Structures are given as C-alpha cells and as structure tokens.
Amino acid sequence: MKRFGHALLLLILLLNVSHVFAQRRPKPPVKDTITGEVFIRIVDQSLALHYEDFAKGLNYDSIVDALDYEAGTIPVFTDQDYCKRLAKMNETSSFGFDCNNVSLTTIKFFAQNRRNFTRVVLGRGRLYFDLYEEKLAEYGLPLELKYLSVIESGLRPQVKSRAGALGLWQFMYATGKQYGLKENSYMDERMDPLKATDAACRYLKKLYNIYGDWNLALAAYNAGPGNVNKAIRRSGGKRTYWEIRPYLPRETQGYVPNFIAATYLLTYHAEHNLLPAEPKMHFYQLDTLCLNRGIHMQTIEKLVAWPVDDIQALNPVYKTSYIPPTFPKQCVTGPLEKIGLLVSLEDSLYALEQRIYGSGGIKNPLPTDVAIDTKNDQLVVSAPIDKRIDIPKTKVITTINYTYHKVKSGESLGSIAAQYSVAIQELMNWNDLTTARITVGQLLKIQTKVSTTVENEEYTEAVEDSIQNADNAIKTPIPPVQTNVAKKFYTIRSGDTFSKIASRHGLTMSQLQRLNPGVSASRIRAGQRLRVK
C-alpha cells in the first residue's frame, strides 16, 4: 500500500511539472502583415509641416541627461530590454502592451526611422497632452489614450484623410455629428481641440463598454464596430485583438501595433536619446475669451497686434477668419497676454468691429489707412471720410434661376450637392424630397443665383453729408470698459471642480482664478464661496 501511495504521489508531481512547462511554452509568433502606408503618410506630412514651422533658428541639441549620450547616437536595445519596459508599462495600465514579434518590429522601426517624428509630436504634445489628460480623467479613461491622437493625426487639428475624416481625433462627418460636433460655413467642430477630445472620450468609452478590451476598442475606433464584429465571427468567436487580427482590414492590422510603438517611444524617449522639439506655445500659456458678437480676426489683429495667421493656428475650428455669433458663445483661444488685453478692451473690440464692418456684417477688408490708438482703455479710430461710411459704395442685385440635373448611375444627393456647391438640405427643399434617396434618371432642380453689381446712390449722398460734418467726424472716442460690475458669489457643492464652476458661469479657469486670488484650483471644498463675477 505504501508503494502504491509513493507511485501515486510521483505521478501527481510529474503531471504538475508537465502542466507548468506547458504553461511556459512560448506562444506561436503572430504573423506580421503591417503595411503602415496610411500612418507613414501622416508621419511624412507632419514632418513637412514641422520643418516649415521650425526651420529657422531651431536648435537640435541631443538630450543631456544621466545616460550621457553623444549627439546623433541611436541607442540599440535587446528584445529583452523592450519586453521589460512593455511589462513595466502594463503594470500601471489597463492596456495590453503585448511583447510579440509584431509589436517589437514596429517599435524598432519607430526607434530607428521615425525619430524626428517622435521629437515633433513630443513638442506638439506640450500644447495638447494636458488638455487630453484632463478630459480622459474626467471620463475615467486610461491616460495612455492621449497617444491615440498621435497615430490618428500627428497632433495636427486640420489634417483631413482621403476618406473625409478630420481633426486631431479623425472623426468622419456622420460620427462627429452623432457626438455633437457641428459644422457650418464658418466652423467645423471636428477641428476644435476641446470639443473633439470630449467627443473622442465619449466614443472610446462606449466602444470599451461594448468589447471590454482596450485593444479591441482601438480596432473598432479605426475600422468601426461592424468590421470588428465581422472579424470576431470569422475567427470563430475569438475575443482578443491578436486572435482576430488576421481577419481585420489591412490598415487596422497595423493600428494597435502602431499605438503600442508610439506609446512606448513617447514614454521612453529619453532612453532613446530623443529630445522634444520646442513648440511655439505651451498649453499653460493659453487662455480663452468667449465673445458676445461675431468678430473678424482682422479686427482682433488691428486692436491688439495679434496676427491673423497666429489666431487661426490656435483656433483651427474656424474655417475662415470670421468668428460667427452663436449660442452658446463662440470663443477665441490665445496667449495669456493677448487674451488679457482683449478682455480689458472687449467693448472697444465690438465697437471697432461695428465701425469697420457695420451692423449688417459686411465683410469688406479692413482699410490699411485706418489708424488704431489705445490709451487709458480708450479706442480712437481715425480714417478718411469715405472709409467711415457704413453704406457700401456699390449694391448687388440678385436674380434667381433654375437648372436641372439628371441623376446618373453611382451619384448620390451628397455628390450632386458637392458638384453644384450647395447644401444637401437645399437640394431636398428645392425638390420637395423627404429623404436623401434618389433614382437614376430622376431630374433634380438646382437653384442658381446671378448677382449684378451696380452703383449705390445712397453712398454718394452719405459722403456728401459727411464732408459737411467732417470736423466732428474725424475722431470718435469710445468709452472705456465699465468696471463697476456687481460682485456675484457661488457656494461650492459636492462634486464640483474648478473647471466645471468656471464653465457653468461662462468663465475660463484663468478668469475664475483672477477673481479668486490665493485660492488653489485643486484644493477647493464643498461649502467654500468663490467669486464668479
């Protein structure tokens, strides 16, 4: 009986050992089918724009730190080094930073061939990553998702894909609209860093709730949930990215490895002797003013010497140089000193806009011989008499005509609207359509406008009247901004944050901080009173 017991014990030990070795047996390598064409194109475009922005006077000194690298050195590491770092990243992340032959190949490619791109996005990240982290934390999402925008757009808010995806987070029009991103003739909120980031957080959270796996959620962000669901079915019901990867679209097969590689290199850039390219602006140097009226950027430029090109660079949401009046108010983001000056001269800003463009919003260019002088919070505008007339020199007479378009095979209402530079809704209204469905051979009515410019008699009369009163019309002082505003206070409730309180009362965080000197934004408590006006 004793022998039988020893034999049984030996058998159990052998089975346990074989089970352990079976567990340690390496998994078969994942086949690499990456092409990376789309991402490489983004990289090349980003580098071209970066060199255009920073070619003059940029110092490319290599990183000087404890590693003591020499300039131009490209460090080389073993696979074991990479896997240890990926394992360390996994310890503090809910992502699966898998160390396999695909991710290792992609990381090595980035580390060797995409060094300048890494430096560029590290620099651009100083303008966007703080914003991303604030929003990701608000939605309870992993902070590593900030690197997703790197492989989507190269951190360029105005980049547009051939498929029509736009902005830092590359939203298609329909998806952007679904998440509240509006578009009209003057603006496209897919290019608004704050609103697009908020929409991306909500969309990513929804995808994660569907799949319960971040790598699958990222695949769905790139290819759409439909393609991921198809890949799951074709794989026989597998539920991990690496198992369904061969069944995904070709671009998506490289998407998660690109994300892993970008996250790794941006985390361990110092170890790879990579120094961030210095950006023109940092996130902490920015503030925001929300406008009560529509404003031309040319008016802002004249008032506070802030070039239109710089305004547009920090406000990519606007398609033109005009900021339209909307509700909620449209805002302009810029350097602290420029926004501070605009806040102190806000009444003067609207007065100057009125004087140049008139109440009808006539978008004539600002005359070059208009002189601007700001002294003691007063604005003085001097101009020749004919420049101060709000009535235009000419008037436009418009007549409406109609043409017809015969629908051809392969055409849609959207493509026809684009062909004639009209809105889809206009086509539907002109043709009494209740849906966007059309048929081959159908005749669609297209409205066209013919405009004729004629001399305006009212302008001539106004000039003659102005000449008679020239002595009183040459200089017009505008009153200073009123400062005797009644103070208003808010009592903090449980769950409030500094940013939420600022937003609720139409303020920026910087404006709320100025109203409450000595208050720490990160240490407010329920019951505390803050001044909000």
Q: Note whether 241 and 213 are within 8 A (CB).
A: yes
Distance CA 391, CA 462 (A): 8
β-partners of residue 323 are 295
What are the residues whose beta carbons fall under 8 Å from the beta carbon of 190, sequence distance 6 or more? 166, 167, 169, 171, 173, 176, 181, 183, 196
Residue 427 has pLDDT above 70, yes or no: yes
What pLDDT score was predicted for residue 128? 94
Q: What average pLDDT does this structure show over 217-240? A: 95
CATH number of 394-455: 3.10.350.10
489-531 carries CATH number 3.40.50.1970: no
Q: How would CATH label the architecture of 37-267?
A: Orthogonal Bundle (1.10)
Q: Note whether 277 and 326 are within 8 A (CB).
A: no
Mean pLDDT lowest for which of 14-23, 152-161, 281-290, 429-438?
14-23
β-partners of residue 382 are 371, 475
* pLDDT tens, position by position, 62-116: 333 455 556 677 889 999 999 999 999 999 888 889 999 999 999 999 999 889 8
Which two structure tokens, joined as six digits, stand for 99? 């160390």
Give residue for tokens 């509240």. Answer: 180
* pLDDT tens, position by position, 459-483: 555 545 544 444 343 333 434 444 4
Q: Helix H segments across 380-420?
A: 413-419
Other C-beta atoms lying within 10 Å of the C-beta of residue 86: 22
- Most confident stretch, 128-132, 422-426, 518-522: 128-132
What pLDDT score was predicted for residue 224? 93
What pLDDT score was predicted for residue 515? 85
Which two structure tokens, joined as six digits, stand for 436? 């966007």
> Which residues are tagged catalytic?
152
β-partners of residue 439 are none
Task: Report how far Cα 437 is from the mean position of its chain's Cα atoms.
Answer: 33
What pLDDT score was predicted for residue 101? 95
**Is 489-531 in the same CATH topology as 394-455?**
yes
Instruction: Catalogue the long-range contacts made by 412-418 (C-beta closer than 8 Å, 24 or more residues apart).
Output: 412/436, 412/438, 413/438, 416/444
Instruction: Determine the angle formed by the axes of helices 297-304 and 336-344, rounding to 10 degrees.
Output: 90
Residue 20 has pLDDT above 60, yes or no: no
Q: Note whether 492 and 524 are within 8 A (CB).
A: yes
Mean pLDDT lowest for which of 101-105, 153-157, 193-197, 441-445?
441-445
Percent above pLDDT 90 for the chain: 42
Q: What is the DSSP letter of 171?
A: B
Instruction: Determine the angle formed by the axes of helices 101-113 and 79-91, rounding to 10 degrees.
Output: 100
Residue 248 has pLDDT above 90, yes or no: yes
Q: What is the maximal distance between C-alpha atoms in the chain?
A: 129
Q: Note whether 119 and 275 are within 8 A (CB).
A: yes
What pLDDT score was predicted for residue 484? 47
* pLDDT tens, position by position, 302-316: 999 999 999 999 999
Distance CA 157, CA 170 (A): 9
Residue 98: C-alpha distances to residues 107, 246, 350, 521 (Å):
12, 16, 56, 38
* pLDDT tens, position by position, 509-525: 777 888 887 787 777 88
What pLDDT score was predicted for residue 362? 39
Chain-wide mean pLDDT for the chain? 78
β-partners of residue 289 are 332
What are the residues whose beta carbons fall under 8 Å from the beta carbon of 450, sequence distance 6 or more? 398, 399, 400, 401
Residue 2 has pLDDT above 90, yes or no: no
Q: Which of 341, 355, 10, 416 is nearest to 332 (CA)?
A: 341
Q: Where are the domains of the chain?
A: 37-267, 283-384, 394-455, 489-531
Q: Note whether 364 and 338 are within 8 A (CB).
A: no
Mean pLDDT lowest for which of 168-172, 422-426, 474-478?
474-478
Q: Say which residue, 428 or 171, is predicted with more confidence.
A: 171
Residue 409 has pLDDT above 70, yes or no: yes
Q: Which of 432, 435, 364, 426 is nearest to 393 (CA)?
A: 364
Residue 423 has pLDDT above 50, yes or no: yes
